[in-house]
Chain A
Protein backbone atom coordinates (compact mmCIF):
# COMPACT_ATOMS: atom_id res chain seq x y z
CA UNK A 1 0.00 0.00 0.00
CA UNK A 2 2.81 2.37 0.97
CA UNK A 3 4.61 1.59 -2.29
CA UNK A 4 1.46 2.32 -4.28
CA UNK A 5 0.98 5.68 -2.55
CA UNK A 6 4.59 6.61 -3.23
CA UNK A 7 4.15 5.78 -6.92
CA UNK A 8 0.95 7.82 -7.08
CA UNK A 9 2.74 10.75 -5.44
CA UNK A 10 5.61 10.55 -7.94
CA UNK A 11 3.14 10.34 -10.81
CA UNK A 12 1.39 13.46 -9.51
CA UNK A 13 4.71 15.35 -9.23
CA UNK A 14 5.66 14.36 -12.78
CA UNK A 15 2.25 15.38 -14.18
CA UNK A 16 2.44 18.73 -12.37
CA UNK A 17 5.96 19.40 -13.65
CA UNK A 18 4.91 18.57 -17.23
CA UNK A 19 1.89 20.91 -16.97
CA UNK A 20 4.01 23.74 -15.53
CA UNK A 21 6.64 23.33 -18.27
CA UNK A 22 3.95 23.36 -20.97
CA UNK A 23 2.31 26.50 -19.57
CA UNK A 24 5.68 28.24 -19.31
CA UNK A 25 6.64 27.40 -22.90
CA UNK A 26 3.26 28.51 -24.23
CA UNK A 27 3.61 31.81 -22.40
CA UNK A 28 7.03 32.37 -23.93
CA UNK A 29 6.10 31.31 -27.45
CA UNK A 30 7.05 33.88 -30.11
CA UNK A 31 3.64 33.63 -31.74
CA UNK A 32 1.79 35.13 -28.77
CA UNK A 33 -0.12 38.32 -29.57
CA UNK A 34 -1.24 40.86 -27.00
CA UNK A 35 -2.84 44.31 -27.05
CA UNK A 36 -2.42 46.78 -24.20
CA UNK A 37 -4.26 50.10 -24.17
CA UNK A 38 -3.39 52.81 -21.64
CA UNK A 39 -6.02 55.51 -21.13
CA UNK A 40 -5.46 59.18 -20.33
CA UNK A 41 -6.44 58.64 -16.68
CA UNK A 42 -3.54 56.17 -16.31
CA UNK A 43 -5.65 53.02 -16.24
CA UNK A 44 -4.95 50.22 -18.71
CA UNK A 45 -6.83 47.44 -20.45
CA UNK A 46 -5.45 44.33 -22.13
CA UNK A 47 -7.17 42.51 -24.95
CA UNK A 48 -6.47 38.83 -25.45
CA UNK A 49 -5.57 37.74 -28.95
CA UNK A 50 -8.25 35.06 -28.93
CA UNK A 51 -11.05 37.66 -28.69
CA UNK A 52 -12.65 39.31 -31.73
CA UNK A 53 -11.67 42.76 -30.44
CA UNK A 54 -8.05 41.73 -29.91
CA UNK A 55 -7.87 40.11 -33.33
CA UNK A 56 -9.07 43.34 -35.01
CA UNK A 57 -6.06 45.13 -33.52
CA UNK A 58 -3.47 42.45 -34.19
CA UNK A 59 -4.67 41.91 -37.78
CA UNK A 60 -3.95 45.55 -38.71
CA UNK A 61 -0.84 45.83 -36.53
CA UNK A 62 0.73 42.72 -38.11
CA UNK A 63 0.42 44.29 -41.58
CA UNK A 64 1.93 47.57 -40.38
CA UNK A 65 4.84 45.79 -38.67
CA UNK A 66 5.50 43.78 -41.84
CA UNK A 67 5.34 46.75 -44.24
CA UNK A 68 6.76 49.43 -41.94
CA UNK A 69 5.26 52.87 -41.38
Chain B
Protein backbone atom coordinates (compact mmCIF):
# COMPACT_ATOMS: atom_id res chain seq x y z
CA UNK B 1 0.00 0.00 0.00
CA UNK B 2 1.45 3.45 -0.90
CA UNK B 3 2.34 5.72 2.04
CA UNK B 4 -0.25 8.39 1.13
CA UNK B 5 -3.07 5.82 1.04
CA UNK B 6 -1.96 4.44 4.40
CA UNK B 7 -1.94 7.96 5.87
CA UNK B 8 -5.42 8.65 4.51
CA UNK B 9 -6.66 5.40 6.02
CA UNK B 10 -5.10 6.29 9.37
CA UNK B 11 -6.67 9.77 9.30
CA UNK B 12 -10.10 8.31 8.51
CA UNK B 13 -9.76 5.81 11.34
CA UNK B 14 -8.76 8.58 13.75
CA UNK B 15 -11.69 10.74 12.60
CA UNK B 16 -14.08 7.80 13.15
CA UNK B 17 -12.67 7.18 16.64
CA UNK B 18 -12.89 10.88 17.46
CA UNK B 19 -16.52 10.97 16.28
CA UNK B 20 -17.36 7.91 18.38
CA UNK B 21 -15.71 9.46 21.45
CA UNK B 22 -17.58 12.74 20.90
CA UNK B 23 -20.88 10.87 20.61
CA UNK B 24 -20.05 8.89 23.76
CA UNK B 25 -19.29 12.09 25.69
CA UNK B 26 -22.46 13.78 24.42
CA UNK B 27 -24.60 10.73 25.21
CA UNK B 28 -23.34 10.94 28.80
CA UNK B 29 -24.20 14.64 29.04
CA UNK B 30 -27.67 14.07 27.57
CA UNK B 31 -28.28 11.18 29.96
CA UNK B 32 -27.32 13.44 32.89
CA UNK B 33 -29.63 16.18 31.59
CA UNK B 34 -32.56 13.77 31.32
CA UNK B 35 -31.89 12.47 34.82
CA UNK B 36 -31.79 16.04 36.14
CA UNK B 37 -34.84 17.29 34.28
CA UNK B 38 -37.55 14.64 34.42
CA UNK B 39 -39.91 16.62 32.19
CA UNK B 40 -37.62 16.08 29.19
CA UNK B 41 -39.02 13.34 26.95
CA UNK B 42 -36.24 13.37 24.36
CA UNK B 43 -33.18 15.50 23.61
CA UNK B 44 -30.51 15.89 20.96
CA UNK B 45 -27.40 17.83 19.95
CA UNK B 46 -27.10 19.20 16.43
CA UNK B 47 -23.75 20.49 15.13
CA UNK B 48 -23.32 23.85 13.43
CA UNK B 49 -23.11 21.95 10.13
CA UNK B 50 -26.55 20.45 10.71
CA UNK B 51 -25.38 16.95 11.70
CA UNK B 52 -27.23 15.14 14.48
CA UNK B 53 -24.33 14.33 16.81
CA UNK B 54 -26.28 12.70 19.59
CA UNK B 55 -29.90 12.00 20.40
CA UNK B 56 -32.04 10.04 22.79
CA UNK B 57 -34.19 8.80 19.92
CA UNK B 58 -36.38 5.78 20.47
CA UNK B 59 -36.56 2.82 18.14
CA UNK B 60 -38.24 3.62 14.85
CA UNK B 61 -37.12 7.27 14.82
CA UNK B 62 -35.30 8.22 11.64
CA UNK B 63 -32.13 10.05 12.78
CA UNK B 64 -31.53 11.73 9.43
CA UNK B 65 -35.11 12.99 9.26
CA UNK B 66 -34.98 14.31 12.82
CA UNK B 67 -31.62 16.00 12.09
CA UNK B 68 -32.99 17.61 8.92
CA UNK B 69 -36.13 18.90 10.65
CA UNK B 70 -34.13 20.29 13.57
CA UNK B 71 -31.70 21.97 11.14
CA UNK B 72 -34.68 23.47 9.28
CA UNK B 73 -36.01 24.93 12.54
CA UNK B 74 -32.62 26.40 13.42
CA UNK B 75 -32.37 27.95 9.93
CA UNK B 76 -35.87 29.40 10.28
CA UNK B 77 -35.05 30.97 13.62
CA UNK B 78 -31.74 32.38 12.33
CA UNK B 79 -33.70 33.90 9.44
CA UNK B 80 -36.05 35.58 11.92
CA UNK B 81 -32.97 36.87 13.82
CA UNK B 82 -31.53 38.36 10.61
CA UNK B 83 -34.87 39.91 9.65
CA UNK B 84 -35.16 41.40 13.15
CA UNK B 85 -31.66 42.90 12.85
CA UNK B 86 -30.24 40.61 15.57
CA UNK B 87 -27.06 38.54 15.61
CA UNK B 88 -28.14 35.04 16.58
CA UNK B 89 -30.86 33.33 18.55
CA UNK B 90 -29.95 32.11 22.01
CA UNK B 91 -33.14 30.22 22.79
CA UNK B 92 -36.25 28.96 21.00
CA UNK B 93 -39.44 27.78 22.68
CA UNK B 94 -42.37 26.36 20.71
CA UNK B 95 -45.66 25.29 22.25
CA UNK B 96 -47.31 22.92 19.78
CA UNK B 97 -50.46 22.34 21.79
CA UNK B 98 -49.40 18.74 22.41
CA UNK B 99 -46.00 19.46 23.92
CA UNK B 100 -43.03 21.81 23.78
CA UNK B 101 -39.92 21.92 21.64
CA UNK B 102 -37.05 23.77 23.33
CA UNK B 103 -33.78 24.78 21.69
CA UNK B 104 -30.69 26.38 23.23
CA UNK B 105 -27.89 27.61 20.96
CA UNK B 106 -24.30 26.46 21.56
CA UNK B 107 -21.04 28.23 20.74
CA UNK B 108 -20.13 27.50 17.14
CA UNK B 109 -23.72 27.43 15.89
CA UNK B 110 -24.79 24.01 17.16
CA UNK B 111 -27.89 23.53 19.29
CA UNK B 112 -29.10 21.50 22.24
CA UNK B 113 -32.77 20.59 21.70
CA UNK B 114 -35.37 18.87 23.86
CA UNK B 115 -39.03 17.91 23.73
CA UNK B 116 -41.40 17.86 26.70
CA UNK B 117 -45.03 17.10 27.39
CA UNK B 118 -47.68 19.82 27.49
CA UNK B 119 -47.71 20.05 31.29
CA UNK B 120 -43.92 20.34 31.67
CA UNK B 121 -42.32 23.10 33.75
CA UNK B 122 -40.77 24.65 30.66
CA UNK B 123 -38.89 27.43 32.48
CA UNK B 124 -37.16 24.88 34.69
CA UNK B 125 -36.28 22.64 31.73
CA UNK B 126 -34.77 25.60 29.87
CA UNK B 127 -32.79 26.51 32.98
CA UNK B 128 -31.37 22.96 33.16
CA UNK B 129 -30.61 23.03 29.42
CA UNK B 130 -28.72 26.33 29.74
CA UNK B 131 -26.75 24.87 32.66
CA UNK B 132 -25.86 21.77 30.59
CA UNK B 133 -24.71 23.89 27.65
CA UNK B 134 -21.17 24.18 29.05
CA UNK B 135 -20.88 20.40 29.44
CA UNK B 136 -22.12 19.84 25.87
CA UNK B 137 -19.64 22.37 24.49
CA UNK B 138 -16.87 20.74 26.53
CA UNK B 139 -17.72 17.28 25.14
CA UNK B 140 -17.72 18.73 21.60
CA UNK B 141 -14.37 20.46 22.14
CA UNK B 142 -12.79 17.32 23.61
CA UNK B 143 -13.95 15.32 20.60
CA UNK B 144 -12.48 17.81 18.11
CA UNK B 145 -9.16 18.07 20.06
CA UNK B 146 -8.49 14.34 19.73
Q: Which residues of A line the B interface, CB within 8 A?
A: 30-43, 45, 47, 53, 56-58, 60-69
Identify 9 new A-B residue pairs, CB closer than 8 A, beyond the known A37-B91, A38-B92, A68-B61. Answer: A32-B95, A36-B93, A38-B93, A41-B86, A45-B80, A45-B84, A58-B94, A64-B101, A69-B115
* A69 with B55: CB separation less than 8 A: yes
Question: Which residue of A40, A57, A63 is within 8 Å of B88 (Cβ)?
Answer: A40
* A33 with B87: CB separation less than 8 A: no
How far in angstroms is the closest Cβ of chain A from B105? 8
Chain B interface residue number, banded: 35 or more
Alpha-carbon separation in the docked complex, A39 to B92 (Å): 9
Q: A47-B80, A56-B76, A69-B115 are in contact. Are A39 and B96 (CB under 8 A)?
A: no
Alpha-carbon separation in the docked complex, A69 to B115 (Å): 7
Among B69, B96, B115: residue with most chain A CB under 10 A: B96
Alpha-carbon separation in the docked complex, A35 to B77 (Å): 10
* A33 with B97: CB separation less than 8 A: yes
Q: Which residues of B contact A42 (CB under 8 A)?
A: 90
Alpha-carbon separation in the docked complex, A50 to B96 (Å): 13
* A30 with B69: CB separation less than 8 A: no
* A65 with B77: CB separation less than 8 A: no
* B98 with A38: CB separation less than 8 A: no
Alpha-carbon separation in the docked complex, A34 to B55 (Å): 25
How far in angstroms is the closest Cβ of chain B from A56? 6
* B73 with A57: CB separation less than 8 A: yes
B132 adjacent to chain A (CB < 8 Å): no
Alpha-carbon separation in the docked complex, A22 to B50 (Å): 43
* A37 with B66: CB separation less than 8 A: no
B125 adjacent to chain A (CB < 8 Å): no
Q: Which residues of B contact A43 (CB under 8 A)?
A: 86
